[in-house]
Amino acid sequence: MIKHIVMWRVRGDTDIDKRANIERVCSGFNALKGHIPGMLHLELGVDVSGIDYACDVVLYTEFETAKDLEAYASHPLHEQLKKELDGVRSARHQVDYVVN
């Protein structure tokens, strides 16, 4: 199994704008559930710490194989979502690791 974790800082000129963009990210990725072959699990979380260096949103996913993760990266639904969210993030961090 391979785990794929992505964290974003989200743009927003006001708290309302930022919350709306966080919701866009969460609803967009939640819509992928059940549509990506090889994806075993998808979970999103929104930061509640309020720490200034924290990311705003985390995506946690599990895939059967590294090839399944690669297929997800280029899947048409994922590609469309990336286009829809273009400009929403100000930073992105990613970790992929294998679990034996």
Kindly report, residue by residue over 48-57, the tens digit of the pLDDT.
Answer: 999 999 999 9
Residue 85 predicted with pLDDT over 90: yes
Residue 100 predicted with pLDDT over 90: no
Count structural domains, the chain: 1
Mean pLDDT of 79-98: 96
**What CATH number does the domain containing 42 carry?**
3.30.70.100
The span from the CA of 100 to the CA of 26, in Å, is 29
Q: Which helix (H) or strand (E) holds 89?
A: strand 89-98
Which residues are bridge partners to 9 per DSSP? 91
Which residues are bridge partners to 46 per DSSP? 57
Mean pLDDT of 37-63: 97
Residue ranges making up the domain that contains 21: 2-98
